[in-house]
Amino acid sequence: MVCKKGGIAPWKFKSLELFASKVKGPLFHLDLNQTSLDDMSSIRTVSIVDERVEVHVVKVLSVAKPLSIQAHPDKGLAELLHAMRPATYRDANHKPEMAIAVTDFRALFGFAGIQELKDVIRTVPEVAGLIGHEDADKLMTVKEYHDGNDVKSSLQSAFAKLMTASKEAVSEAVNKLKGRLNDESEIRTLTEKEELVLSLERQYPEDVGVLAALLFNYVKLSPGEAIYIGANEPHAYLSGECIECMATSDNVVRAGLTPKYRDVQTLCSMLTYKQIFPEILRGVPVQPYVRRYTPPTDEFEVDCCLLPPGEVVVMPPVPGPSIFLVMTGEGEVQADSMSDGEKAKEGDVFFVPAHTEVRLSASGHATMQLYRAGVNSRALYACNAAAAGKRSQLQNICEMAS
């Protein structure tokens, strides 16, 4: 696990990334001491995971400016990209991720439904012009009940035309759209998407991502709600604070709303082009004050604990290591191997080894908001069960042989 600071406000620690893998360096074990990121020198380094382990990354994100339109490759594509361009795609792993809103959170995710896309082509000539008559007509004639491959083919072709348009054509289209919407705002109320377009243009002038945003779902999360982002799905975080957990990888394919390197051809070819609004995850209560977010991937899960002052909760042991992060409030954290609890306050991070029970208590006048991130328990239990089965099978063979 590696802890980093820098770059995004307004949290006490401008940014926080916690890694559990060999890729980012050694694992820092906090031993449940009173250690915050303000004093990195007080963290003791120990080796407690095998060199081969590459688990997950936990981040606290405060998005003050929209992040890039991007997608993360699946494992097969990641291996190919890494082999072909290791300087750009630095590893061969996939990067499924989950964002849990801490405040109101806004994002773009996946393509809008076919009817909404038709409305864009019909009412936004600046987008239709860049797509071109042929591809625009194909989308306009597609029906929702048509074969999925037909819809995907039409959408992929139209999106690629938009994203690969010349800088001059994009600049002209964005400026025309901005001028038209500003004029129309004098006589009508703009839609949320139109307001979003103007906001994006102010931050990324003449960027094709301003136009592409109209083709995606506009997702609004309230605190405690989450979305899971699988491989090859387009997305962009727009604003708000979240806890983000993902598989350990640096692989990001960007194509808009960014000054960084853009790999437009790869992004356009890799996307699933599914048209579905993302499922909003609200977590499952596992005990009083604790909700668990379990995505459909083996690498991670996240527990959110909202503990009122004076209350106590015991987090049962899990078969893998965990990272505990105190977001707000104060209290005590006590592992089953400790005789006394340790003080915990906003910004404190604790590493807890596998099979360790943890007792949490809140004090002060505010609710203690705490997150636990670890390897997906279901996957770990399944692995343990499989290993136990193999041991039992081997024992039976030995007994038969004797």
User: Is residue 34 pLDDT above 80, yes or no?
Assistant: no
| Predicted pLDDT at 336 | 83
8-state DSSP, 346: T
Q: What is the DSSP string of 108-167?
A: EEEEPPHHHHHHHHHH-HHHHHHH-HHHHHHHHH--TTS-HHHHHHHHHHHHHHHHTS-H
Enclosing domain of residue 170 = 113-211
Answer whether residue 141 is part of any domain: yes
Residues 6+ apart with CB under 8 A from 335: 32, 352, 356, 357, 358, 359
User: Is residue 364 pLDDT above 70, yes or no?
Assistant: yes
| Predicted pLDDT at 6 | 30
Residues 6+ apart with CB under 8 A from 41: none
| DSSP-based helix, strand, coil % in the chain, nearest 5 | 30, 30, 40
* Residue 141's pLDDT band (cuts 50, 70, 90): very high
Active site residues: 254
* Residue 186's pLDDT band (cuts 50, 70, 90): very high
Answer whether residue 198 is part of any domain: yes
Answer whether residue 127 is part of any domain: yes
Could you tell me the pTM of the whole model? Answer: 0.84
User: Is residue 101 pLDDT above 70, yes or no?
Assistant: yes
- As a whole number of Å, the CA-based R_g of the chain is 24
Contact yes or no for 128/107 (Cβ under 8 A): no
Mean pLDDT, residues 53-62: 81
- Above pLDDT 90, what percent of the chain? 71
SS3 309: coil
Place of tokens 């990195």: 40
Mean pLDDT, residues 107-117: 96
How far is Cα 255 from Cα 161, in angstroms, rounded to an integer?
A: 13
Mean pLDDT, residues 158-164: 98
Answer whether residue 312 is part of any domain: no
| Predicted pLDDT at 390 | 55
Answer whether residue 196 is part of any domain: yes
Answer whether residue 142 is part of any domain: yes
More confident of the two residues 40 and 224: 224
Answer whether residue 221 is part of any domain: no
Virtual torsion, Cα 266, 268, 274, 277, nearest 10 deg: 100
- In 3D space, the residue among 74, 167, 158 whose CA is nearest the CA of residue 112 turns out to be 158
Answer whether residue 315 is part of any domain: no
More confident of the two residues 3 and 304: 304
Q: Number of structural domains, the chain? A: 1
Phi, psi torsion values for 19, nearest 5 degrees: -110, 145
Contact yes or no for 160/268 (Cβ under 8 A): yes
| Predicted pLDDT at 319 | 85
| Token representation of residue 64 | 């003050």
Phi, psi torsion values for 202, nearest 5 degrees: -65, -30
Here the CATH number for the domain that contains residue 167 is 1.10.441.10
CA angle 300, 302, 305 (to 5 degrees): 165
Virtual torsion, Cα 301, 283, 224, 355, nearest 10 deg: -40
